Amino acid sequence: MWLTLMISTALAAEGMWLPEQLPGFAAELKAAGIRIPAETLGDPMGPVLGAVVSLGFCSGAFISSSGLIATNHHCVEEWLSAHATAERPLAHDGFLAKNMGEELPGPSGQSVYILESTTDVTAAILGSVKPDTADLDRTAAVERAQKEEVARCEKGKKRGPRRTCEVVDDWGGTRYRLLAYREIEDVRLVYAPPKSVGSFGGDRDNFDWPRHDGDFALLRAYVSGDKGAAVPFLPAHVLPIEPAGVAPGDAVLVAGFPGGTSRYDRASQLRRVAEVTFPARVAVLKQIEAVVSAEAAASPEAAARLSADLASVANSRKYVQGVLDNVAGSPVLVAKQQMEAELAAWVAADPARKQKYGAAIEELQRRADAWDQHDLQRLFRRFLRWSTLYNSAAAGYRLSVEREKPDMERAQGYQKRDEADLAESFERAARTWWGPADQALLRLLLTVHADLPPEQRLPELDGWLKEHGGVDAALSALYQSPALATEAGRRELLAAKRATLDRSTDPWLGLARALYPVELRAEAEQKAYNGALSRLMPVYMAALAEQRPGRVYPDANGTLRVTWGKLAPYSPRDAVSFEPQTTLGGLAEKIAMSDRYERPPEALVTRLPTGPKSRYADPKLGDVPVGFLSDLDTTGGNSGSATLNADGRFVGFVFDGNYESMAADWLYDPALTRSIHADVRYFLWTLEGLPDATWILRELGQAP
């Protein structure tokens, strides 16, 4: 059935397309101005897409034959935070290596993933699933088959580079793919500009056009050489830099690893998001932001530790508010309702279609409505995991439980293959943990829980608090010299057996034990719902594919995707129109507003007037371009994605979407959905102004 979904006529810039779909779009790609052969773009390991990599949470691309990776400034905050001190605030000041020997090692667990193969495993995953299989059993069968496929894939690599595998589903469980990646664990920071450059404008400008961010950074991948010493990785494919950049109307494409979209959610689910879930979420995020900001202001060390967390919270808060504003101020909800009405009318118009699709679509609606009724409780449980110490205690206790089972029966995320990653995640979190902030956050979350509707509260949490004398007494016990705040305590937790943890008097372990039944209950509910979706969504997707052939692409799921379009302006409201490029001159104008913007380093500021005479100046603009807009379809996870011109040459870095498109995860609007890119010419101009960066420009073939 999924083959039907691949026969297509692409719509404008809409769609995060699988590479294998692109050979079917040869005529559309050519009409859009893309000169890369469709067959070339259809090869995920070929000369264009083979240079694109995942960082696990962001995207990037090899831009030199010595393993240099281009990505975003905000994607390397873990590297900066890991080496930051009060005396050396790298998160604020940035970093530049003067040579390869000075490049900063990444925190443990920060890897680069290079796609090596993709295999259709649908038959293997669904082999034991029957039409009458109960939903919970269906999920269990699919999960076990996924784990077996991953185990075979990873064990098949006896020697050589580390292989990491995953099974993903497309089109709502219509098809399953096994993806194998080469994982490079030695990834070092080469260059990140100061925060006043990489995140220029901060929260004020976040998501808002015009933008003047130098949101770019460089990493380098290393592997073991013949004699065991680390040497730069030599990628099979590299994206050449195009110093001439791109201009309005030019064709561009982006290749990266978008994290997730909800384009096929029901309109009622989006309405619930807009009316209930996101208003509650933004209210909590505002409070968390205030708490973290206050703690960060307490000392330079606190500021260094909490810098990345504060930026993340602010970004999340503005995104959620943007979704609410989009749904309220645009026809996105009405459009989704209309699309559903058209599908329902199309199904009802033919008895055969009604018999084939009608019951499944109706049940899908009922299931979605029922699932949404406990969304606030799920939201609270996610926020609770933001407490570093609670997350460590809960994950460590769960690991001790899962270790008692055969590996194939363990929960995903707690198998033997996951234990090293779990330990690394503990240590990464510990490097930025700040006790007073964690305590203030947990106090806030307990208040949030107390204000939940009675049916969405956790009786186990209320019981534990009562047993420990209330919130104040419980917090005092939890944060009085917590063992989990020490490396030894975390190691002991990860090595302990369940019986040992069950006897522990550590208050964090007591809290984890008390809430463990909540975790199991929530997982069972999630699995039953997932089972229903895996049964119903393929029917729904088949109906869509038949109703509008060629317009159905799979939701983003963290796998390699390609989207194409052009540099394009937009008009967000009456009498307001935005051009698609910004320049150094515009950056200078903002810097002059000293009460609004943090001033970049003086060395950069004094060079701004030289822009018109720079070799990177755009002839039509008469200045160096800083950023540009496109109508490309991107989302979270695309950060750091390579922007390519019509010939596949590197021209920019995706780093954001515009405020008016925050609801685009549910519905793409060609009039308003825009991606924001840092122009490669601003990147090169910035490096050119740093004497210690000449060696990097030389490596990129751009030395003056």
Which residues have CB under 8 Å from 440's CB, separation 6+?
A: 291, 294, 295
The catalytically annotated residue of 74, 212, 449, 468 is: 74
Q: Is 174 helix (H, G, I), strand (E, B) or coil?
A: coil
Secondary structure (3-state) at 366: helix
Q: How many CB atoms lie within 10 A of CB 169?
A: 21
The Cα 83–Cα 93 span in angstroms is 12
Matching residue, tokens 């204000």: 451
Separation between Cα atoms, residue 256 and residue 635, nearest integer Å: 10
| Exposure string over 68-102, b if 16+ CB within 10 A, otherwise e | bbbbbbbbbbbbbbbbbeeeebbbbbbbbbeebee
Which residues does 362 contact at the CB level (< 8 Å), separation at least 6? none
* Paired tokens of 12: 């404008």
The helix (H) or strand (E) run that includes residue 236 is none
**Greatest C-alpha distance within the chain:** 73
Nearest in space to 242 (alpha carbons), one of 677, 616, 566, 565: 616
Catalytic residue among 215, 309, 555, 669: 215
255: β partners: 562, 642
CA 517 – CA 539 distance, rounded (Å): 34
DSSP 463-496: HHHHHTTSHHHHHHHHTSS-GGGSHHHHHHHHH-
Q: What size, in residues, is the chain?
A: 704
Token reading at 364: 């899908």
Distance, CA of 335 to CA of 672 (rounded, Å): 14
Q: Which amino acid is at 370?
A: A
- Is the CB of residue 48 less than 8 Å from the CB of residue 39? no
Residue whose entry in the numeric block shows the structure tokens 């989990």: 484
Close Cβ partners of 698 (under 8 Å, ≥ 6 residues apart): none
CA atoms within 13 A on the CB side of 7: 9
| Angle, helix 300-329 to helix 416-432, in steps of 10 degrees | 110
Closest CA to 81 of 184, 185, 195, 183: 195
Known catalytic residue at 74? yes
- By the 10 Å C-beta count (0-12 exposed, 13-18 middle, 19+ buried), 47 is classed as middle
Query: Tokens standing for 67?
Result: 């393993």
Catalytic one among 64, 504, 639, 661?
A: 639
Are 87 and 29 in contact by the 8 Å Cβ rule? The answer is no
Q: Answer for the pair 72, 683: CB distance below 8 angstroms, yes or no.
A: no
**Is 215 one of the annotated active-site residues of the chain?**
yes
Tokens 């290749």 found at: 255
Determine how β-strand 217-224 pairs with β-strand 581-583: unpaired
Q: Within a 10 A sphere around the Cβ of 573, how many other Cβ atoms?
A: 9
Q: In Å, what is the CA distance from 245 to each residue of 95, 555, 646? A: 25, 30, 11
Q: Are 113 and 181 in contact (CB under 8 A)?
A: yes
Judged by DSSP in three states, 505 sits in coil
User: What single-letter DSSP state applies at residue 163?
Assistant: E
Please give the positions annotated as active site.
74, 215, 639
